[in-house]
A and B are shown apart, each in its own frame.
Chain A
């Protein structure tokens, strides 16, 4: 493709090479370690679900029992497999018996490796097939019902009550939304377990639970049939339970997941060792399940300046791309993130935004880029806010963004009301239709403001990536080079859940899922 921005391909290649080396260094660390949530995910994928009498999820009960017995470094698959061989029970029955104290899972006699493997792989294969079937179901829907045109219109619901969310989501779909994201309740990312069952109470959002996923999936399938468009469901695969949420999403056929390699470290103060191990397995699952991931670079711009720090967004996108490739996630599922967050009073700010979005489009030609709306400079003036969102929509259609998270005129006031969403969808549809082919018609002036801006951002990103390659990602984060946020290697939440694997460790799902559905 001819670059409209006259970008230097050698610089892009050099930036990617640096990012690949960064990701490879981290991968060495990731391959040596596991975490409590990775093992709970294995338990879930082997069919463990439900809670005990104090509402503690059985995957937690089971993994805690393994930890008490000092067996986490061997992995949940080993212990569950052994228990299947020894008791003839299903993983769910085993978890229930652990919960009542009937089984102490690490104290059972140890069967021979071959038997353990056979037992685990046969159960694992059932889940892998189920997830593969979900992919087929989605593909069938896309074939028979079809889908909205890109940029997909992406709106959030956030009532706290899953049943109220359903009403809002179905209304949004009827108004034209293509993707419904159910915002999670404040601070769910810091829970080291996933709550259970349908929920009706939440602050600023709704708990991500498997039952809530199921309820919303069903509602969106119904409304999809009605409007004649497949409606995608999005949730948040971040925080201390990243891979567990990925597994739940894969099982319940979610379509989009927020899933960033660095976001939790920077913005939720989750320990970096923990997040980097967790993100790997979560992305393998997302990749296999055909789920589009969304990365969180837009968040950098809420803490750092969107003009000065634009290159850190690009650098992070390139790093996220390389981490995702390591986990076998294809480019078509990489919703790399960025945002329209420059100060609106900036002279020619629109041109800079256009340059940034066009640059991302050219550097990641097949990725369904996720474009985030203005939030930081939304003021409560809903009339001006509606205009800011219109400018954002214009950049999006112009530069062929993939997923358009619609801005709301009431941003900075409240989570969207029913008609806020309608007004925003109307805004986007008007502009997407009215300026549909503007990107195919308009070229940029050679060495003009737009071209120069994009070239400058690329060159600074390439320089930053080569720096990080020298220092390593851990040191870079410790120095606060992303989003201006400093995090230490041993600080933050969740480090005590990280364990080095022993030589007999195995996780069947990495082998069965890595590289996508074949």
Chain B
């Protein structure tokens, strides 16, 4: 009896129920009327995407001459996992208590953090999760941290105001949350803040962080931020990054 085939990390493809079967499930809509021709069109399209044996397992009339498909196909491509490098916030995250101790031992003063949803963004769920006392999913927010002064300025804060507040409070760190990223509305807004901080001579003196479901660390760094935190980030992750940066960059 043959043993189970081993994964070749230089040639990885999707797994359904057998190694290298390449199985992918997908769903999408085509702007064509429901029927046999629609199913055929979907199959041809999925073939062009690089799938073998495309199968329409379900299709449905969306009511305006459009059709929805659920499909499977076998992916013919592979990737080399061994050569992949992704920039990310690479550190051991401390817990809330560890951050608090770290501040007491290494910084010896209150760390001032201000945060906001800037520009036109009115969705505070992200910044609230990180900053508010209550936090999110049993991770308390920065307001609850001993040794931190945390101010959540809320939604639709103009970049001017957050810069002014940073100067007034001598902020160590600025957190910017951007939830609405449709049509890339967040990019000019995030860039403008960096430019304003540079103009004020503040950029090097603060830890500048952005966050949001569509913000990667890579994009954040490209835009001139120290870090970007996406979905699944908690207050202690952000706090660890801030206090480490303060010590590493000698911002004490």
Q: Measuring CB to CB, which residues of chain A are less than 8 angstroms from any residue of chain B?
A: 160, 167, 170-171, 173-175, 186-187, 189-190, 203-204, 267-269, 302-305, 308, 343, 345, 375-377, 379-380, 412-415, 417-419, 422, 484-485
Contact = CB atoms under 8 A, between A and B. Distances in A.
Given A170-B64, A267-B122, 16 more contacts: A160-B183, A171-B62, A171-B66, A174-B62, A174-B63, A175-B63, A187-B122, A268-B156, A269-B154, A302-B125, A304-B134, A308-B134, A419-B62, A419-B68, A422-B60, A422-B68
Given A190-B156, A380-B213, A414-B182, A484 B132 contact: yes
A500 B180 CA distance: 38
A186 B122 contact: yes
A377 B136 CA distance: 9
Nearest to A485: B154
Contacts of A160: 182-183
Contacts of B64: 167, 170-171, 174
Q: Interface of chain B, helix or strand or loop or mixed?
A: loop
A430 to B, nearest CB: 14
Interface string B10-33: 000000000000000001110000
A119 B98 CA distance: 74
Contacts of A415: 182
Contact of A187 (B60, B120, B128, B134): B120
Interface of B: 27-29, 60, 62-64, 66, 68, 120-122, 124-125, 128, 132, 134, 137, 154-156, 180, 182-183, 185, 213, 231
B59 to A, nearest CB: 11
A187 B156 contact: yes
Contacts of A412: 213, 231
Contacts of B154: 269, 485
A380 B132 contact: no
A269 B29 CA distance: 40
A418 B60 CA distance: 12
Contacts, number: 81
Contacts of A269: 154-156
Contact of B128 (A170, A186, A303): A303
Contacts of A379: 231
Chain A interface main SS type: loop
B84 to A, nearest CB: 21
A466 B154 CA distance: 29
A425 B29 CA distance: 16
28 contacts: A160-B182, A160-B183, A167-B64, A170-B64, A171-B62, A173-B63, A175-B62, A186-B120, A186-B185, A187-B120, A203-B120, A203-B182, A267-B155, A268-B122, A269-B154, A302-B125, A302-B128, A303-B125, A305-B134, A345-B137, A375-B125, A412-B213, A412-B231, A414-B182, A417-B29, A419-B27, A419-B28, A419-B68
Nearest to A414: B182
A200 B55 CA distance: 37
A312 to B, nearest CB: 13
B32 to A, nearest CB: 13
A-B interface, 8 closest residue pairs, ranked by CB to CB distance from nearest: A174-B63, A187-B120, A419-B68, A171-B64, A186-B120, A419-B29, A203-B185, A204-B180
Nearest to B66: A418
A383 to B, nearest CB: 10
A175 B60 CA distance: 11
A417 B66 CA distance: 12
A423 B202 CA distance: 49
Which among B28, B182, B185 has the highest number of chain A CB atoms within 10 Å?
B182
Given A204-B180, A267-B155, A414-B182, A171 B125 contact: no
A379 B137 CA distance: 12
Contacts of A414: 182
A514 B124 CA distance: 36
A123 B121 CA distance: 41
A251 B36 CA distance: 46
Contacts of A267: 122, 124, 155
